Chains A and B, each alone.
Chain A
């Protein structure tokens, strides 16, 4: 069964360092998302991406964050200068038709745990 894959599974970094989290969405999917979950808390939306541009972003997704689809398969989240409060699990998700089309189903990857020291 096709799945969303994420790397790395765990990254430890020093405050102020740049981090890139990578995702390979399901191959025929057109909509891509990043969410994050601080330990023990709820899942928070960061950004949605369609047709090579951001379609929606949250207040969390400030100038320190960026997303890119550098080739036909990868979807990356970059945090330019990490802060302690960026420590969280970051989930990538993809959808064939987006939330309003078809079954609207989102498929989540296994997550990348980011620890900022």
Chain B
């Protein structure tokens, strides 16, 4: 059974700082998803990482995937308050049609 674990689960940081959220998954998978969720809202797709070594960047967020280590990272550069949200990573086992989500990382960025 695929397990997806994120850390940290809670992250409070100051504007302007850099930080990284880690996502480990337990079985072989070539794809990794990152979503953002604001309180009471839906899941907004940030990145779909399609292969080993994939790196994608959008604004202050950069995601990478290492399938050998079964690890993805979401790096936040020079954080701004607008990035406060809960971030989920998700993956799926080979041949499956179900995404398994991590527990989520609640990110709070303070002025």
Contacts and interface: CB of A to CB of B under 8 A. Distances in A.
Interface residues of B, number: 23
26 contacts: A31-B97, A42-B88, A42-B101, A42-B103, A43-B43, A43-B99, A44-B101, A45-B98, A45-B99, A48-B98, A50-B97, A58-B98, A99-B92, A100-B31, A100-B95, A100-B97, A104-B31, A104-B33, A104-B48, A105-B48, A106-B99, A108-B35, A108-B43, A109-B42, A110-B41, A110-B42
Q: Please classify the interface of chain B as helix (H, G, I), strand (E, B), loop, or mixed, using the class held by over half of its residues.
A: loop
Nearest to B96: A56
Contacts of A42: 88, 101-104
A55 B95 CA distance: 11
Contacts of A25: none
Contacts of B101: 42-44
Interface residues of A, number: 25
Interface of B: 31, 33, 35, 41-45, 48, 50, 88, 90, 92, 95-104
